[in-house]
Structure 1
Amino acid sequence: MKEDLTVVAKYIKQLYPPEFNVFGIYAELYHNYFASEAKKNAESHLEDKDIYLLLSWVHNFYPKQNVGGRCLDKEIQTWKEDKEPEKLNGHFQSELLGIFVIQSIYSGQKRAEDISKAVGEELSHRLLKDLPAFLRSYRDAFEDFKEKSKKHRYYKPILIANINCCWNFRQHIIVWMMVPSSASQQAIVEKIHARLVKEYIVRLLKRKVSLKTPAQQQALAQHISKNAADLEAFCTTNGSQAKWLNSALPKLAEIIRLQDLGAIKIEVATLATTYPDIRKRHLEAFLHIKANLSRSELKSILGYLADSTASTQPRAPLFSNINVS
């Protein structure tokens, strides 16, 4: 609380007019929450062992919630030194990030679970909120190093060490966050699944590719189909049951592959039936890829889509979340 209020006093308070009394509001909210929690604890009947474990957890673990931030600061300093990264088992690796952060968080969660299942679950939820912020900071710092330090004597070894760190974080995040709750794992993976499909579609709608020959279009269609199969296999293997997403990319690939106008219209109709939130603007941007379509053919296809999606509401949004410039 002291650290948070110090941040409010130093940085946040000055962003608001004095009459907003920002510091006072923050302090009151913290006090009210602390008081309510203290009251609940005072009203509960805990055994001596439970009290000891709770105090031990608060004293030993809670101050280390920011261990990742402190380690990251130290790691960034090592990048600036004229020193080659350490090797672990023959591979460049950051002991500070790759081992210490992971072990600290893992051991803290184990201690929380030793107190009670509820405390362990609560900590897992907190880590789900805090860990992404740390990973974003790590990513931003690493991207900054990659752009500004290309002349560093040990540029490539540092890149390799951090790539290995990213792999370690990925593996352990799956173990901490996803194993305890299969329902949480499925929900997370399905969100990732939807995001990957959406981002792939966004790339296809950028109007950056325009192919004039059927052979070129067929090659692109095969490439998209392979990517779609790999994406589906990855997400399904990791627990996604969002099967409604799986046909989006293959159907778009088929539209690229087909050359007969009637067959293209049929495929567009099935796409619109499966994803009724697709609109003219989406299809027009996508058909930019098929540069051998005449203006009349393009107009015919777009008109067909408008009729088939006029009154249908989507079961789950996909295209409606995609803006087309």
Structure 2
Amino acid sequence: MRTHNQRDAPGLRDSPSEVNGKGTSGPEPNKRRGIRGKIINALSPISVGKAKIKHKKKNEEREESKPITVDQIRELIHEKKLFEAGQHLLMMEKASYAEQSKEGKGAARSEIEAAYGLLKQEALRVIKTSVRMAPVNPELLQNTVRAIAEQVKEDKTAALEKANVLSVRPRLWKEAWKEMIQESVTERMQVPPFDGVEGLSATAHSFLHMGKAMKDDLITVVQHIKPHYPNDFRVCCVYAECYYQCFSSQLEGIAQFELGSGDNALLLTWVQNIYPNEIKKHRVLEKELEEANLGTLLPLKQIKHLEETYLINELESLKRCLARCLQMEVTRWTQGREPEKLDGHFHSELSIDAIQAVYGGQKRAKDITPDLGKQIAPLLLVELLTFLQSYKKELERFLKDNKQRQHFEATVIANINNCLSFRTHTEENTMPGQNAVKHQISVVLHEIQNAGFEVLLQGLFQELQALFKKFTQKTWLSCSSIMNEIIGCASNHMATLRTLKEPFRQAIVEKIHLHLVREHIARLVKKKVSLRSAEQQGQLSQVIQTNAATLHAFCTENGSNARWLEPVLPRLAEIIRLQHTDAIMVEVGGLASQYPDISKKHLAAILYFKGNLSTSETRGILSVLDIHLSATLPPTSLFSDIKLS
């Protein structure tokens, strides 16, 4: 009989089915019971894992020891792993040509060359799309550039090892790379179909597309393509030269045709301004393009021809524009409407429009190049002179035929005010060597101003002449009321004159000032009164002094700065008052030094008042004028315009 322990005995060792892993019941396979079994079971997974790792490494070593096949290289190429594919091909190429003498290698070499062809084709396809692709897939560009650089390096190595040069070297991938860049640039510079939607001409559309493509693409090259290339590729220079050659040849072809004025100006702008300033000197591109040493987009001779055509077109355009401005102004004169006021002064748009047209021509040329701005400046000034001469003729015709038209005086004042803008523009924009034209413009403007003054003062002077005639032999000593009428008449005209701009208002008031003084003198020299007593002469002298003070105060209060007129009436009054011949001669000498155009006839007419002078005394006083005294010439004549009967 089995004891209990004997029944359990089989459990102490493995049954056949358990050892072989067979059976339908019992413990799990490889599981051991007991302390020893538990220890073995606990350690067995580690042992199994180590065995698996060792087995895996052996498999990998076996895989690595196997040479890569051409098909696998093709797969790498299709996966865009071009650098890795190129490395494998280089090893395969060297191994193949090292065994040239062995049979059966010809087929292997042809497969290698076919794989090289596929690799090169795929690499150049990436290069062709570099500008578009580099910002979004830099890894692909980097991998491709490494593949190309490896082939270029291998060509150099083969060239140094002349004895062992492979028959397939050099493969000239760098040359193919340059050609592909040129092809890529040509495609990107190709102008898309023109639909006219942008409001540009077809030529302008071409300039805009090519210029923008060149600038934007070169910035992409510097920022996204250059970092992936070795320095010896000079990738920025290669791209820059390709874009330059493409742009230059296109522009040269366009320049052969007869361009319209707008396209001519735009072509010149691209060649002389946008290309050198916004592309070559762009902050991102400047350093790179200096190394490329790019030239001008067009030959110098062609640029000079474009500039000559540009100047002709600009002047013709300006001439037409100024003619339109003048015609519009003449039309406004005849419409009977009061001119607008600006800051209290009658205003005309003519000077603004004309000067803007001239300034625009100057600015457009200067914006192309400062030199072109210098070339056009004297030509524009001549055109302005021609325009002002036409303006003067039209204004003179208007002044002659339209005196009765409503708002006539306001229109005249507006045109006088125009002269200030024209004069200021001329002063500020005249270059050295243009003084003759500047002087001619000044003369024309002065004539326009004076023509306007003459019309504005004509009515006033006629009224004043009638009032001054009231100074007679009977009224000289009691003429205060007449002087009040004269001042009142002049004052009535001042309101209108206030709408003149300075310095015209001052200038016209000074004309009134001169006229008042001259008319006063003219009445004195009529030789109607001979006063024999010193008392009468003193009274007349006082009247003249009072009138002089009244006239001077009125004129200066209204803006006259003609201080040179202030002494003349008081000096004449003093000559009439003085009784000693020597004192009179001293006063006459002072008068003659200030007003050298006084004649003996004028002085004799003044001395006529002094009825107590002898003939010899009069002759002695008149002889003072024979002495050539040093004199400061006044701004204008005074006595020479006073006619004697």
Q: Please classify the TM superposition score into its range, dividing by the shorter chain length.
A: 0.5 to 0.7
Instruction: Give the 5 Å matches for 1:1-325.
Output: 40=318, 61-64=332-335, 67=336, 104-107=337-340, 113=347, 118=352, 124-125=414-415, 129=451, 133=455, 170-177=493-500, 180=501, 182-303=502-623, 305-308=624-627, 310=628, 312=630, 315-316=633-634, 317-325=637-645
Contact 1:61-1:108 within 8 A present in 2 as well? no
Distance 1:234 1:294, change over 3 A: same
Q: Distance in 1 between matches of 2:557 and 2:591?
A: 25
* Rounded Cα–Cα distance in structure 2 between residues aligned with 1:230 and 1:193: 11
Q: C-alpha distance in 2, partners of 1:167/1:245? A: 17
Are the counterparts in 1 of residues 498 and 505 from structure 2 also a CA contact under 8 Å? no
1:182-210 deviation line (CA, Å, top 9, x unaligned): 21122222222222211211111110111
Taking structure 1 as reference, are residues 132 and 263 closer, same or farther at Cα in structure 2, changes over 3 Å only? closer
Structure with the greater alpha carbon radius of gyration: 2
Residue type of the alignment partner of 2:498: V
Gaps of 5+ in 2: 1-315, 356-390, 392-410, 418-448, 463-488
Unaligned runs of 5+ in 1: 1-37, 45-50, 68-103, 141-165
**How far apart, in 1, do the equivalents of 2:516 and 2:461 lie?**
19
- C-alpha distance after superposition, 1:143-191 (max 9, x if no partner): xxxxxxxxxxxxxxxxxxxxxxx899724412322xx2x2112222222
- The residue identity in structure 2 corresponding to 1:118 is I
Q: Which has the higher contact order (CA 8 A, sep 6+)?
A: 1
Q: Letter of the aligned partner of 2:536 in structure 1?
A: Q
- Distance in 1 of aligned mates of 2:558 and 2:354: 23
Amino acid at match of 2:580: D
CA distance in 1, matches of 2:345, 2:508: 25
Contact 1:212 1:290 in 2 (8 A): yes
Task: Give the deviation of 1:137 after TM superposition.
Answer: 7.7
Maintained 8 Å contact 1:189/1:235: yes
Aligned residues: 215
In structure 2, do the counterparts of structure 1 residues 311 and 108 end up closer, same or farther at CA, with 3 Å as the change threshold? closer
**CA distance, structure 1, for counterparts of residue 574 and residue 584 of structure 2:** 8
Q: CA RMSD in A?
A: 4.3
Q: Quick one: structure 1 residues 186 and 262, their matched pair in 2 at CA, closer, same or farther if it must change by over 3 Å?
A: same
Rounded Cα–Cα distance in structure 1 between residues aligned with 2:616 and 2:513: 36
1:10-39 CA distance string (max 9 Å, x none)? xxxxxxxxxxxxxxxxxxxxxxxxxxxx96
Kept after mapping to 1: 8 A contact 2:534/2:577: yes
Counting aligned pairs with the same residue, the percent is: 38
Q: TM-score, normalising length from structure 1?
A: 0.53
TM-fit CA distance, 1:221: 0.6
Cα deviation digits, residues 195-231 of structure 1 (max 9, x gap): 2211211111110111111111111111000000011
